[in-house]
Amino acid sequence: MFFKFSRNLNKSLSLLVIFLATPLLNADWFALNMTRGITDISNEVFELHMLIFWICVAIGALVFAVMFYSMWAHTKKKNPVPAKFHENHKLEIAWTIIPFLILIAMAIPASKTLVKIYDDEAGDINIQVTGYQWKWQYRYLEDDVSFFSNLSTDLDEIYNLVPKGENYLQEVDEMVVIPAGKKVRFLITANDVIHSWWMPAFAIKQDAIPGFVNTAWTVVDTPGIYRGKCTELCGKNHGFMPIVVKVVEQDEYDLWVDNKRQEAIKLAELTTKDWSTEELMERGQTVYEVNCVACHQTEGQGIAGIFPALVGSEIALYDKERHIEILMEGVQGAAMNSFDYLSEVELAAVITYSRQAWGNAEKGDGEIVVPKEIVDYKEPKI
């Protein structure tokens, strides 16, 4: 019998059970299933998931019941002389045809739901979603609003130096805001590698692929904050570029759009302002920490072999023109992409910062870059 063990084995197995039981007892026994989501489509997907799940459970239960019955009733002890049969055409035809019919019964509703999901008509609001290593950019095509959304969880939380907050790794500095009850279409693409935009509550998962624009749409009736994640391996910070969507009523949405526009105008005015080195440094550090630190690291030391160091780099020390050019155009064939989507102020500030910080100012020419120079760079060259 397969249960027969010596006493020693029994003892070690019971120790094992105790060892396993501790985390099992603490586990959350209610967080076992897919969530229903909040849209009509996500509900339909959930129903479909439960339908297939129960069909699979039934098939499994049936097969395993017969099997376990044999293991109990047809042991050598109980049934010393085995039966002789080794085929049964009727049975074999039945267990080919019946599963086939069950499959069709599953595939039809699945196909129907899929047809509903595949609707690429324009929405009331159209948002271009662009994946970057490792953040998302959202451009509202009608409302002329555009911003980046970065993880806002503190590094200290990630490295266990301070307690983790409630929305650990699921919080961003700027949420996507959409109005309730409107059809919102997402046009999803990527700037560098492939990412994937997943919002479980809407049952949307679409890959963001450079050179392609995928579409997905949703209508959300319930205002609230919904959290999703990047689901295609996109490099080292793949796990650290969450998605947060805030659904609000229409009037609140209009207010938000107005605010975003005002912010953009203020930012544009900054370009013509006179900047001191200190002001540029302060702003540059913020830009650096959001956009550059993942590869070039906190002290500008980079990572040997993959991401070049900025400390003591020839370009950061002496070659201001090339420095601007690299940020504007990227480096062909390397992980360094163009950052021309940053504002002139941000670009000037971050270039200044990396020419001044970590002792670079003392070692090199220490030149700063003002927003005007970025504007000049962008002017068509004759």
Partner 1 sequence: MSAVIENHHDDHHHGPAKGITRWLYTTNHKDIGTLYLWFSFAMFLIGGAMAMIIRAELFQPGMQIVEPEFYNQMITLHGLIMIFGGVMPAFVGLANWLVPMQIGAPDMALPRMNNLSFWILPFAFFILLSSLFMEGGAPNFGWTFYAPLSTTYAPPSVTFFIFSVHIMGASSIMGSINVVVTIMNMRAPGVTLMKMPLFVWSWLITAYLLIAVMPVLAGAVTMMLMDIHFGTSFFNAAGGGDPVLFQHIFWFFGHPEVYIMILPAFGIVSHIIETFSRKQLFGYSSMVWAMLSIAILSFVVWAHHMFTVGLPLAAEIFFMWATMLIAVPTGVKVFNWVATMFRGSITFETPMLFAISFVVLFTIGGLSGLMLAIVPADFQYHDTYFVVAHFHYVLVPGAIFSIMAAVYYWIPKWTGNMYDERLGKLHFWLSFIGVNVAFFPQHFIGLAGMPRRYPDYALQFADWNMVSSVGAFLFGFSQLLFLFIVLKTVMGGKKATAQVWEGAKGLEWSVESPAPYHTFTTPPELDWTPSKAD
Query: Please, which of residues 292-331 interact with partner 1 by CB under 8 A?
Result: 303-306
Helices (H), 137-217: 155-158
Which residue of 180, 194, 270, 309 would you call a contact of partner 1, by CB under 8 A?
194
Of positions 14, 15, 43, 60, contacts partner 1 by CB under 8 A: 60
For 172, the 3-state DSSP assignment is: strand
Pick from 132, 138, 198, 353 the residue near partner 1 by CB under 8 A: 198
Q: Which is nearer to partner 1, 238 or 260 (CB)?
A: 238
Structure tokens at 7: 């006493």
296 contacts: CB under 8 Å, gap ≥ 6? 288, 302, 307, 308, 309, 310, 354
- The distance of closest approach from Cβ of residue 193 to partner 1 in the complex, given in angstroms and rounded to an integer, is 4
β-sheet bridge partners, residue 195: 208
Considering all CA atoms of the chain, what is the largest pairwise distance in Å, rounded to the nearest integer? 98
* Mask for 5-44, x = binds partner 1 (CB under 8 A): xx--x--xx--x--xx--xx-xxx--xxxxx-----x--x
Nearer to partner 1, 166 or 314 (CB): 166
Residue with tokens 């605010």: 259
Q: Of the two residues 32 and 265, which places its CB atom closer to partner 1 in the complex?
A: 32
- Tell me how far apart the alpha carbons of residues 251 and 274 are, in angstroms, rounded to a whole number: 38
The yes or no reply on residue 121 touching partner 1 (CB under 8 A) is no
DSSP codes of every residue in 252-271: HHHHHHHHHHHHHHHHHHHT
Q: Which of residues 100-119 bind partner 1 (CB under 8 A)?
A: 100, 103, 106-107, 110-111, 113-115, 117-118
Least CB distance from residue 287 to partner 1, whole Å?
Answer: 22
Secondary structure of 303-329 in HEC code, one letter for each residue: ECCCECCCCCCHHHHHCHHHHHHHHHH
Query: End-to-end distance of the chain based on CA atoms, in angstroms?
Result: 89
Binders of partner 1 among 124-163, rule CB under 8 A? 133, 157-160
# chain residues binding partner 1, by CB under 8 A: 112
Residues between 242 and 281 that touch partner 1 (CB under 8 A): none
d(CA 21, CA 225): 36
Residue with tokens 């994640």, as numbered in its chain: 229
**Rule CB under 8 A: is residue 380 a binding residue for partner 1?**
no
Choose which of 92, 142, 249, 263 interacts with partner 1 (CB under 8 A).
92
359 in contact with partner 1 (CB under 8 A): no
Minimum Å gap between C-beta 272 and partner 1 is 33
Q: Find the shortest distance in angstroms from Cβ 325 to partner 1.
A: 17
